[in-house]
Amino acid sequence: MKKLFIACVAAVTMHAHAGVVANDAAQPLIKEGSVAMSKGQYQLALEKFSAAVKADPQASEPLSHIAHVLLLAAESASGEQAARLRKQAEGAVRQALRLGPNDPLAQEVQRLLEDGEGPPLRKASPEAWKLVQEGEILFQSGQYDEARAKYESAAKLDPQYSVAWLYAGDCLFAQKNWAEAEVRYRKAAEAEPINGQAWRFLSDALAWQGKVNSAEEALLKGISAQPGQRPSWSKLANLRAKAGYPMTSLKLEPKASGVLDAESGKYSVNVNANEGDEKTSPDIAVWMTLALNDVKHRMEVQQNKSSQSQFDADLEAWTAAMKVADEGDANGNPLKEPGLQTMQMLYKADQLEPALLLLRYKEAYRPELEAWKKEHPHGVRTFIATYALTP
């Protein structure tokens, strides 16, 4: 098991997945890279992870670590250098997901590249943060008992800092002490219920103890806490598939996007149609409608002419796009892309709001998500049970 910081806030634990974990030749290099990461030696970490790619070109794990390093480097850079590093991170994460579609680290790096935000988790006190940093170096060196002592000391200093409890659980998980890991993960989830990762790791500990129903319940709470974390959806889909209730991925790939010209400050819309796509098709018309509405909203925000929330703007854009799709139906020219067909079905079922909140979540949607959950206490469970969809 490997644990890394993501944007210096949350950790990603690498549990075993087919197509994800590297071979015996690459694992020592990944471990060395992880130790370098914990010490802030990003260039050395990148060299180790790159060597791991050569040692096992078919595993996604080394590539997802490279994407993570590049993302962190981009966050500390600026201008053209930051843009270049982000582009490199995007390329690495695409390669990782091609090899391991359920690679949790790659999924989380992709989410951060697309969204850029995480849930508003508590920031540790300086004293607790120092202990966590000391624990991280010990953890990456395989000194799990010593690391856990640091993490639990941090948790005692700052009991509402859920990440400290999460990391303590990781130490026990690495030692295959599932029951004690469960205790720490539960403390993390109780400290900050919006920490989706805490619920997901709790689910892992429960699953290893054979508590399948409780594991699924924890995943549902994790999705409710942070719908944007793809690993929670992947794990839920795996559990449900084993029980005979498969889920279907929405797999929406935008064919048009708004682009900001850095020099002029003006927005334009690019059509990203694949070879063979008809640019006059209803699918492209839907994507163009979404892109144009997005550009309009971003320009209004830039000019301080809009008080509309991001969610309201996106809901309005999708509503307009689905009306375009309905016009295509009326003219005998229906949508072809399965994901868009699914969105049209949800629109007709008056489920566009929960579909966006759960399947297209951005952290900017947090106020609307919390309001919707309050109004629909069982909404997440009902939506998933009814439509069996994942992002």
Give 93: exposed, middle or buried? Use CB within 10 Å, 0-12, 13-18, 19+.
buried
Position 121 in a domain:
no
d(CA 305, CA 264): 19
How are beta strands 248-249 and 267-271 bridged, if at all?
Answer: unpaired
Shared-domain flag, residues 349 and 241: no
End residue of a domain, out of 203, 225, 246? 246
Instruction: Tell me the three state secondary structure of residue 8.
Output: coil
Position 119 in a domain:
no
Shared-domain flag, residues 295 and 332: yes
Q: What is the pLDDT along the chain (391 residues), one digit of tens a residue?
A: 434 333 333 333 333 333 578 888 989 899 888 888 878 888 999 999 999 999 999 999 999 999 999 988 888 888 888 888 888 998 998 899 889 888 888 888 888 888 877 788 999 999 999 999 999 989 988 999 999 999 999 999 999 999 999 999 999 999 999 999 999 999 999 999 999 999 999 999 999 999 999 999 999 999 999 999 999 999 999 999 999 999 999 989 888 888 777 667 777 788 876 655 565 689 999 999 999 999 888 888 888 887 899 999 999 999 999 999 999 999 999 999 999 999 999 999 999 999 999 999 999 999 999 999 999 999 999 999 999 999 9
pLDDT at position 8 is: 31
Which tokens go with 39? Answer: 């010490």
pTM for the structure as a whole: 0.83
Shared-domain flag, residues 204 and 268: no
Shared-domain flag, residues 147 and 240: yes
End residue of a domain, out of 187, 213, 246? 246
Shared-domain flag, residues 106 and 232: no
pLDDT at position 79 is: 82
Chain length of the chain: 391
Shared-domain flag, residues 307 and 359: yes
d(CA 266, CA 349): 37
Shared-domain flag, residues 20 and 108: yes
What does the pLDDT look like over 271-314, one tens digit per residue? 876 655 565 689 999 999 999 999 888 888 888 887 899 999 99
End residue of a domain, out of 55, 86, 114? 114
Give 41: exposed, middle or buried? Use CB within 10 Å, 0-12, 13-18, 19+.
middle
d(CA 303, CA 298): 9
Shared-domain flag, residues 261 and 381: yes
Position 120 in a domain:
no
Shared-domain flag, residues 170 and 236: yes
Shared-domain flag, residues 261 and 370: yes
Which residue is listed with tokens 């009902």? Answer: 382
16 contact partners, CB below 8 Å, separation of at least 6: none
pLDDT at position 3 is: 47
Question: In which domain, by residue range, is 47 found?
Answer: 2-114
Shared-domain flag, residues 310 and 226: no
Residues 219/223/224/225 CA torsion (nearest 10 deg): 100
Position 315 in a domain:
yes
- Phi, psi (deg, nearest 5) at residue 228: -75, -10
pLDDT at position 9 is: 32
Count of CB atoms situated within 10 Å of the CB of 127: 12
Position 38 in a domain:
yes
Shared-domain flag, residues 381 and 279: yes
Sign of CA dihedral 106, 111, 114, 116: negative
Structural domain total, the chain: 3
CATH number of the domain within which 192 lies = 1.25.40.10
Position 174 in a domain:
yes
d(CA 186, CA 218): 10
pLDDT at position 80 is: 84
Position 263 in a domain:
yes
Position 151 in a domain:
yes
pLDDT at position 6 is: 39
What does the pLDDT look like over 36-93, one tens digit per residue? 887 888 899 999 999 999 999 999 999 999 999 998 888 888 888 888 888 899 899 8
